[in-house]
A and B are shown apart, each in its own frame.
Chain A
């Protein structure tokens, strides 16, 4: 796993100069253009990645022990997944075809062709399958994006201090773990009056009880892992 992660981080580092906190997006664009060695590296990565994914598929997709451990374990029914407002792979594994990039396209996502993988039962195995297929779909998106990317300035002329009008706004994107939303209330000054972050991990984690009761301690680990939470996102 770390072999691929390392390659992705290398790419991020090329763009942002950082390996963990990729803080290069600005209001109105990016802080700098991508370096010229980035696109060849990305192309190489796209070429190699399917092979890595296939390797894991061979190892795990029909692994007897994985099937015995994950099939039917930690089922999150469709209605329950919707009512606790789960999002991302957890929701899709329960059979809901919901992806913000498709249902409410933002940015340039309406131009890309990709499928939304969904599960049928909503167990740990479905969540695992959804994630693997999403990796393949992400590669498709990157490929199209790389083909169509225009050249030109990367940052428009935005004043240093922005005074938004009085009111409130909510923007959300489809993050790897689910819907990541930012709710801002402005009182017309340079700082927001109130800011709330809708973190997908926290909301997905509320489904834990539904999935976990009645299973053994060992299943708790695999269920917990299949939600794929980041504790920093939960504990704010």
Chain B
């Protein structure tokens, strides 16, 4: 059964059976609109939350002029950016420069096709859902690199290079920590994964959650891993040479990616749309916002790491721990094939704490000076 916010899809479902092509077209149209509205609204909410939240944490006010609590500030920003002149550097590769924001934005939007907002309420219930997410989410890196290359600016290129390096490295622990969840749920479909979470997987997979959160933050370049647009070093990274609508698209990509990662974390670890009392889609939105708030919190607390330290963290810390986590999860699933007992929660938390503390003593973060 398919239902969705504000719209009774059950009725059209009875008129148009799903195997009929017209039925799918309607389904496609409705969910595309829902996804776009969801992404745009939540991105605006995110921008507001980030600026206000960070303002509070840094003992300032944040935007508070436009609308109640400055809620309309993102709208004003959008209008400002849209009416700005679109500048293209003289020596830029015009075609690549133009295509880059589109290539970066489209995959980010496509991720939401498989994210369930409610039981069964998703554009396409792929049986390989999470695999699709992993595959699609790395494509926007191509857009970022195109932007860096096409701008003909050394800082842009440097930022783009860092991004590619970070994404390639962090993809591995990211996927490995997903596999733990998949092993327990027994399915790659995101809807099935949510249905399998009688106990939220954050409790069964605390280490996996931690690894996924860190790797996810690095993948979408949130602080402390925001190396690709480190404002104090690279001006603005890969989108230094962008203005107007193209810049707005990159800005949108940044937050839409954060939204995508928050949605995936919610779906995989926090029980997705499941929750008491409130309607499921509201639970989903609430959890997504909470995850994003934690990201804002880390951003305003931690300083930025260096590029070699970023790499070292991925390969020396996250990767081994992800492998160990996978091994432990595999053994547990073998030992209790039907359902993991509650006692496993405490065991897994203990394992996570011990492993993190132990491993942090074992590896060295980055290297020192280069002899010249």
Residues of chain A touching chain B, judged by Cβ–Cβ distance below 8 Å, are: 2-3, 59-60, 63, 65-66, 68-69, 72, 213-221
Interface centre among B227, B301, B303, B308 (most CB of A within 10 A): B303
B372 near A68: Cβ-Cβ < 8 Å: no
Interface residue? B158 (CB, 8 A): yes
List residues of chain A with CB within 8 A of the CB of B370. 214-216
List residues of chain A with CB within 8 A of the CB of B224. 65
A68 near B302: Cβ-Cβ < 8 Å: no
A79 to chain B, nearest CB (A): 18
B306 near A63: Cβ-Cβ < 8 Å: no
B233 near A2: Cβ-Cβ < 8 Å: no
A66, B302: Cα distance in complex, Å: 8
A217 near B369: Cβ-Cβ < 8 Å: no
Interface centre among A72, A216, A219 (most CB of B within 10 A): A216
- List residues of B (351-372) whose CB comes within 8 Å of A's CBs: 365-366, 368-372
Can you list 19 A-B pairs with a CB-CB distance of less than 8 A?
A2-B58, A63-B302, A65-B302, A68-B305, A68-B306, A68-B366, A69-B304, A69-B309, A72-B368, A214-B371, A214-B372, A215-B370, A216-B308, A218-B227, A218-B230, A218-B233, A218-B304, A220-B233, A221-B232
Q: A3-B59, A215-B370 are in contact. Are A65 and B230 (CB under 8 A)?
A: no
Q: A215-B369, A218-B233 are in contact. Are A63 and B59 (CB under 8 A)?
A: no
A63, B230: Cα distance in complex, Å: 19
List residues of chain B with CB within 8 A of the CB of A66. 303
Lowest 8 CB-CB distances: which A-B pairs, in order? A214-B369, A3-B59, A214-B370, A68-B365, A218-B306, A214-B372, A65-B303, A221-B233
Interface residue? B110 (CB, 8 A): no
A59 to chain B, nearest CB (A): 7
Interface residue? B60 (CB, 8 A): yes
- List residues of B (297-325) whose CB comes within 8 Å of A's CBs: 301-309
A228 to chain B, nearest CB (A): 15
B127 to chain A, nearest CB (A): 41
A158, B301: Cα distance in complex, Å: 53
List residues of chain B with CB within 8 A of the CB of A69. 303-306, 309
List residues of chain A with CB within 8 A of the CB of B306. 68-69, 216, 218-219
List residues of chain B with CB within 8 A of the CB of A2. 58-60
How many residues belonging to B are interface residues under a CB distance threshold of 8 Å? 25
B301 near A218: Cβ-Cβ < 8 Å: no
A218 near B307: Cβ-Cβ < 8 Å: yes
List residues of chain A with CB within 8 A of the CB of B305. 65, 68-69
A62, B233: Cα distance in complex, Å: 24
A213, B371: Cα distance in complex, Å: 9
Q: A66-B303, A69-B306 are in contact. Are A217 and B371 (CB under 8 A)?
A: no
List residues of chain A with CB within 8 A of the CB of B309. 65, 68-69
A22, B155: Cα distance in complex, Å: 39
Other than the given A65-B303, A65-B309, A68-B365, 16 more pairs (CB < 8 A) read A2-B59, A2-B60, A60-B303, A65-B302, A65-B305, A66-B303, A69-B305, A69-B306, A214-B371, A217-B233, A218-B227, A218-B233, A218-B304, A218-B306, A218-B307, A221-B232
A69, B302: Cα distance in complex, Å: 12
A169 to chain B, nearest CB (A): 41
Residues of chain B touching chain A, judged by Cβ–Cβ distance below 8 Å, are: 58-60, 158, 224, 227, 230, 232-233, 301-309, 365-366, 368-372
List residues of chain B with CB within 8 A of the CB of A68. 305-306, 309, 365-366
Which chain A residue shows the least CB distance to B368? A72
A213, B372: Cα distance in complex, Å: 8
List residues of chain A with CB within 8 A of the CB of B303. 60, 63, 65-66, 69
A220, B307: Cα distance in complex, Å: 13
List residues of chain A with CB within 8 A of the CB of B365. 68
List residues of chain B with CB within 8 A of the CB of A3. 59
List residues of chain A with CB within 8 A of the CB of B366. 68
A217, B235: Cα distance in complex, Å: 13
List residues of chain B with CB within 8 A of the CB of A59. 301
Which chain A residue shows the least CB distance to B301? A59
List residues of chain A with CB within 8 A of the CB of B59. 2-3
Interface centre among A2, A215, A218, A219 (most CB of B within 10 A): A218
A72, B301: Cα distance in complex, Å: 23
List residues of chain A with CB within 8 A of the CB of B371. 214
Which chain B residue shows the least CB distance to A219? B306
List residues of chain A with CB within 8 A of the CB of B230. 218
Which chain B residue shows the least CB distance to A66? B303
A72, B364: Cα distance in complex, Å: 14
A47 to chain B, nearest CB (A): 18
A129 to chain B, nearest CB (A): 16
A217, B158: Cα distance in complex, Å: 10
A123 to chain B, nearest CB (A): 11
List residues of chain B with CB within 8 A of the CB of A213. 372
A72, B367: Cα distance in complex, Å: 11
A63, B371: Cα distance in complex, Å: 27
List residues of chain B with CB within 8 A of the CB of A218. 227, 230, 233, 304, 306-307
A216 near B368: Cβ-Cβ < 8 Å: no
Which chain A residue shows the least CB distance to B59? A3
Which chain A residue shows the least CB distance to B364? A68
A10, B371: Cα distance in complex, Å: 48
A191, B202: Cα distance in complex, Å: 76
A138, B303: Cα distance in complex, Å: 27
Which chain B residue shows the least CB distance to A60? B303
A73 to chain B, nearest CB (A): 8
Which chain A residue shows the least CB distance to B227? A218
A2 to chain B, nearest CB (A): 7
